[in-house]
Amino acid sequence: MLPVTLIKKKRDGHALDDAELRGFIAGVTDGSIADYQIAAMLMAIFWRGLDGRELATWADAMTRSGDVIDLSSIKRAKIDKHSTGGVGDKISIPLAPAVAACGVAVPMVSGRGLGHTGGTLDKLESIPGFKVDLPVDRFAKLVDELGVCLIGQTARIAPADKKLYALRDVTGTVECLPLIASSIMSKKLAEGIDGLVIDCKVGTGAFMKTIENARALCALMKTIGENNGKRITCVLTDMDAPIGRTIGNSLEIRESIEVLRGGGPVDTRELTHVLGGEMLVLGGVAKDLAEGRAKIERALGDGSALEVFRKVVEAQGGDPRVCDSPGSVLPKPKHREEIILGEGKIVAIDSEALGVASLLLGAGRRAKEDAIDPSAGLVVDGYLGEVIERGAAPSVMVQHSRDPGDARVIEARAMIQRAFTLAPADAPFTARPSRILEVIR
């Protein structure tokens, strides 16, 4: 059938049969279907959805649009982690080497920034020389030798998803549950993994604004994964405030290295410990979360996780000195300025606004062709529940390489100012004690 026929059929609320779904994905992969027609189908699916059969076929077609990597020769259990996207979410960077240091292999195929959220690949590429476009055979070799490798989608890994992923970012279809579930699982099923821990973000800075939507997404992903014989755990985590204190690529690398040294912000450490602990349970090297978490904490505290990361950076072409002196290696911005917040207690932070502000400064993309400024971003010195006192006001440090008078920089400043809700210092407010909302095993 012509693509327009399928678009109209889905637009009008009808289910596509298996041949139509596989044919459409084949056309996405070989380029015979134009971007504007793909975008139209994405919007039709956004509004009309995919039923269970359609979703299974769509995800399988995406997985099989390229090669499924064979890692069966690697003796260690192969467990990956995926985040649905958050503001300041740099967890994969300390997490993967920590899990590898504990004896579980992590074959991680990551994505780029999507909407207001950052991407692991963009963060890693802020390390001079770091290559994320390794061939599949090199990827498999490093997973075997080091226990971890972090790459992007090659032309051979779920190529249909690579095309769809870029178009979703610029067509307002990022939040569609079937598209999110199939995008995540097509890449993961192509990695040759045994199991997957999914960090499903919930809140103002996440694509899933409610816990009900997060549970629905997790149900879709678990169904796709378990139907393919994979062990799946979903961890619902709070995204009502940025993770850690940094937003932006090189800034988040700095914070990740702090965690790899056993330090870093409390929430960044907690997410690394818990998600890593769940990965060790799936990998069979920990009997429960408590044991897994203790092993991750030990790997971060004794330097073994940092040593794995150093080897990964060097093996993937990056400058390993970043592990010892990140400030001397990572790119520096041309401009730094401080935005002083008001006076009172911080009772809400609009994480999405801060993510968009960081994007406007150059840390993300408005269009898929946009270049990233690896030095751009925010350092947030002011957190939920903290009181800003007169004369000692916490601030947001803004850094970028654009002209300070650029309209995008001006817009970003205004968004940052509006992102913080202040109340009187004695106003009742209790910050959430943990980022972990729920675990679905």
Give catalytic residue positions: 82, 161, 168, 183, 187
- 199: nearest Cα among 270, 296, 151, 107: 270
- 204: nearest Cα among 353, 24, 371, 423: 353
- 158: nearest Cα among 131, 124, 132, 192: 192
Measured between alpha carbons, how far is 228 from 19 in angstroms, rounded to an integer? 20
